[in-house]
Amino acid sequence: MNRCPGEYTVFATDFGWMALFSTPKGIYASVLPQDTAEEAEYKLLSRIPFVPRLNRSAFKELEKNLQLFFRGLCRDIICDIDWSWSAGFQKRVLKVVREIPAGSYLSYSEVARLTGSPHSARAVGRALASNPIPIIIPCHRVVGKNGNLGGFTGAPLEMKARLLSVEGANIITEKKTRD
Which residues belong to the active site?
A: 139
In 3-state terms, what secondary structure has residue 49? Answer: coil
Q: What CA–CA distances, in Å, run from 20 to 15, 53, 120, 129, 159?
A: 15, 12, 30, 18, 18
In 3-state terms, what secondary structure has residue 16? Answer: strand
In 3-state terms, what secondary structure has residue 150? Answer: coil
Question: Where is 53: in which H helix or E strand?
Answer: strand 50-54
